[in-house]
Amino acid sequence: MSDIRVRFAPSPTGFLHVGGARTALFNWLYARQMGGVFVLRIEDTDRARSSDEMSQAILDGMEWLGLDWDEGPYHQADGIDQHRVEVQKLLDSGHGYRCFCPPDVLQEKRERMEKEGGSGYRYDRTCLDVDGAEAERRAMSGEPHTVRFRVPDGETAWADLVHDEVCFSNEDIDDFIVLRTDGTPVYMLAVVSDDAEMGISHVLRGDDHLSNTPKQLLLYRALGLPEPRFGHLPMILGPDGRRLSKRHGATAVSEYRDAGILPQALDNFLALLGWNPGDDQEIMLEHELIARFSLERIGKKSAVFDPEKLDWMNGQHIMLMDAHELGRLVAPLLIEEGLTTEEELEDRADWFATLMELLQPRARTLTAIAEQARIFLATDIEYEEKAVGKHWKDADSVIERLTVVQRAFDEVVEDWNPGRIEEALRAAAEREGVGFGKLVHPLRLALTGGSASPGIDQVAWLLGPNTIHERIAAATAFLQSRSSAELHG
């Protein structure tokens, strides 16, 4: 075991989003590569905005992505006693002080300052002048107050794992609150206390936290706690260059799952949002990501979330899958639609896997595979109006051609395989003196209801002689009713 300990610390105020999932993934990859420990901590100190349902949704999202954690889920709220101990230490050492300023007075000061055009409101330290013993006496008597951190002069710098040297002037940092009036610690303190308590060695998180880091470092230093290394992951933008948000479409991981995206494809895609392997390899499975991941190759530049690329990647991962495995993922979609049952698919497991193999290169999502699998399982099919207009214009001659192909199929019933099927169809076309297409297009429409499908030999092979017979009969009946309607209409 290495001494690398990383964590993912989501606030359960929403679903697991793409940005959060990317943070979780980078921490997980680093832990797995280094033989370290990946800790999950739910930051639920904001009780009003947190919910158990959201916590569960986050855990579900991580499980689906295969991001298993070694410790936790811990809950930030469980650390509250330790958080208060740290606050007391700050008070005792003079790094913290009690602030009795009522909220409305603070608000007024803030508004006045904004009106005067001042940039960046800072607390004016009124209560820093309250004598220590006096402050204790007022606190003991129950006077409402917060505890603030006394920001020292100077600057706060650190060697960021992504941004290299980062430095903030402490002048720009407010004497921030660490304990609220109701006695609850704020995130800024709780996160430091928890990370120290859990021995976190590396904090990898989105660069929206960049401005929190100097405050947290000041707390580590004031409390004499060992500092973790910090690395801030680049922002994720939508294709229009604006920060990724709902207006760009799906942002919750579960929405991608429901749209037929594979977890390994989403992991692969997320890994490349801000990291690159240093060459042009794009498709990587979990073990490759683990082997190739490196903090050094995390970029500073924002990453663009391109849904088109995700679809393409998903298609690539679908192709890499074992057909039986793919079938297990597609089956529920077909069962849900009432097209088949679990038992039926079990009975025809090899057939179903062959169908998956046929569709693998033709679809980019599980949903699209299910859609294309439909015609192989449906009991009746609908004919596309446009294809009917194109390939079934002359009903009588089409009926004749369908009779010819039925005969061709009958000839190879005993030797049912794609090669023989194609041979028989070609021989029939030759006998009839028509081009292969003239037989195949009307046939494809009869078998699939449309004008696009995998090779007709494969389609016919998988449908099997009985279904073919039924579909040709149904098509013939349909054409006959059309032809007599035309005669009499």
For residue 206, list its beta bridge partners: 233
3-class state of residue 121 by DSSP:
coil
Q: Retrieve residue 399's tokens.
A: 């009926």
Contacts with 395 (C-beta within 8 Å, 6 or more apart), sequence order: 479, 480, 482, 483, 486
What's the distance, CA 253 to chain centroid? 3
Question: Which parts of 93-158 fold into alpha helices (H)?
Answer: 103-115, 132-140
Residue 364 near residue 312 (C-beta atoms within 8 A): yes
Q: Which is nearer to ligand GLU, 188 or 329 (CB)?
A: 188
Site for ligand GLU in 203-222 (CB under 6 A): 205, 209
Residue 21 near residue 253 (C-beta atoms within 8 A): yes
User: Which one of 62, 179, 191, 369 is in contact with ligand GLU (CB under 6 A)?
Assistant: 191
How far apart are CB 244 and ligand GLU at their closest, in Å? 15
Q: Which is nearer to ligand GLU, 205 or 215 (CB)?
A: 205
- Strand pairing report for 164-169 and 96-99: unpaired
- Strand pairing report for 177-179 and 146-149: antiparallel
Q: Which is nearer to ligand GLU, 44 or 175 (CB)?
A: 44
Q: Which is nearer to ligand GLU, 11 or 201 (CB)?
A: 11
User: Which one of 18, 28, 40, 43 is in contact with ligand GLU (CB under 6 A)?
Assistant: 43
Q: Retrieve residue 402's tokens.
A: 């369908």
Catalytically active residues are 246
How far apart are CB 452 and ligand GLU at their closest, in Å? 46
CA distance 278 to 292: 9
Q: Which is nearer to ligand GLU, 23 or 365 (CB)?
A: 23
- Count of residues binding ligand GLU (CB under 6 A)? 7
Residue 86: what residue type? E
Q: Which is nearer to ligand GLU, 10 or 36 (CB)?
A: 10
Q: Which is nearer to ligand GLU, 62 or 412 (CB)?
A: 62
Q: Which is nearer to ligand GLU, 202 or 441 (CB)?
A: 202
Phi, psi (deg, nearest 5) at residue 14? -170, 180
Question: What residue has token string 């811990």?
Answer: 74
How far apart are CB 324 and ligand GLU at their closest, in Å? 39
How far apart are CB 260 and ligand GLU at their closest, in Å? 28
Site for ligand GLU in 3-22 (CB under 6 A): 9-11
Phi, psi (deg, nearest 5) at residue 93? -95, 0
SS (H, E, C) 406-471: HHHHHHCHHHCCHHHHHHHHHHHHHHHCCCHHHHHHHHHHHHHCCCCCCCHHHHHHHHHHHHHHHH
Q: Retrieve residue 207's tokens.
A: 């660069």
Closest to 473 in 3D by CA, of 339, 388, 342, 380 = 380
How far apart are CB 41 and ligand GLU at their closest, in Å? 8
Q: Retrieve residue 87's tokens.
A: 């606050």
Q: In what order do the strands lie in the sheet with 5-8?
A: 71-75, 37-42, 5-8, 202-206, 229-233
How far apart are CB 306 and ligand GLU at their closest, in Å? 24
Task: Please report, as ranges, the residues that interact with ligand GLU according to CB under 6 A.
Answer: 9-11, 43, 191, 205, 209
